[in-house]
Structure 1
């Protein structure tokens, strides 16, 4: 019997993670992995479902269904019902995703549609789900972002990197790393159609990758991969308008000679602390967030415990943070102080093949 994902026990006694991977299914240990953890951060591998390149995973907020991109040239999306009590998935359903190299997907708050960002060709697609929450057919719409004129050595081709519905589901934001733009779309759920609403340009060379909405619903924080910076934007939830206001560093030493690229951004549930990862520095940055999201300050950075921290996630109770270290094939855990936001290592790293996405399921 399937239950909604929120039926898992509270994380005071532990919980469950689903881990995506960049590796092909032929690589030992590659696929969608299920991990259990306890309150102390000790982790154990439950099982791995062999799947090719399931690099990013999302959960339906209303039903016990997981979705994942299959990051290949001919992109696909898979979805599967999952019994969260036994953590035993059923057979996955797959459809073409509508573009090349899908790297991120998100589910509409109602569960009615899945939105997919394609790094390979800059396509954004909208895919409907069926009555059971799994994907029912291919995209109802695909949108290819335009490129831009050459600007020195900067990227000019579109590389969509994230599709993020607004909390109320009325709008969709899509970052385009290749053109330094954030596209805002209005979404009509009845038809599943997106319509262009606003395009926001960032300074050249930023490479917007991922973003988060602040709980105040007044600000959006955008992580820039190429410049390793964070852009604070105002957000008007009624008009669906985005406005950059400030930019800050995510590295303790921005002038360090080693190459670095930022990857993941997460907010604590109370909106007081923001966490980002730096690949190259191999560090997790801890930021304080003030004024309902208007102000962000870098407090400290912590070694990620591995190499190339691709993704991070907070446990539902906010007391643990998990980090997927792609190049060291490890998942690491950290205790989190809810008062100060500080991180300290917890437990031993868990061996996982090329982890790229961390998804807690349950409360």
Structure 2
């Protein structure tokens, strides 16, 4: 028997992907049947519940130990999307073969009719007609399955989107950041191409929540993401790293260029006034602090780049907030 297909887990161990994809399919089917939205936490719980029903306690324990919340749902959704793509290709091939088979039978009908006695052809014609009808029915069933599969593909695509995005602000989430910076770091090491991180933290955000409540605080977070997103390029990516802390990943950007971008972001945030939707009498001005660094081949791993950017952010807040501080790969400040 061929070994079960596997992929590397976060800690370097192997995940049984064929088993995961089957449980993932069952979990999604159950959610659809119940009319529940397959958002990551709900989907992840449905996956684990389904696994436990099938007696896969060991797999559940393994995934929960090796994959943080959210990342497991992402792995499941990605695998399920791949399975659906392969299934769609198989259905397409099956339908094409049915068409070829039907065309072949239709092409032989005339020659058989000419070669056989009328009484023999009368019997055979019924058999040929039944076979063509069966082919037509199977084609209809395949097409119906394709339509259902397409609907499921859209559900999985939405699940994948939700897995990577922060539900409140619309920014990419921390799990997406960890994936993307790993890819960018690998590209940097291989091709010696620069990338830069900007870490932004909304100044005194706790005071906003304490003074106006979390509903207004949520508006501030969404407003902040909109402002930043409007100021960066399409290839740049904005992530909510945690709480009121955000990261901007800028591919193909050197240190000096990123400092210019960060200062533009800082100035835009400082200059705007937020009119709160929940209470039009509330107008807020906020500021943010920014830490900037560039990743380079000399960095041991992506975490080293992130730690340096975080150190620059800490320095910006320590120096009075509402400012940009950059640290070069060698440790020198801008």
More strand by share: 1
TM > 0.5? no
Question: Based on CA coordinates, which of the two structures has the bigger radius of gyration?
Answer: 2
Structure 2 length-normalised TM: 0.27
State TM-score, norm by structure 1: 0.26
Between Structure 1 and Structure 2, the one with more helix by share is 2
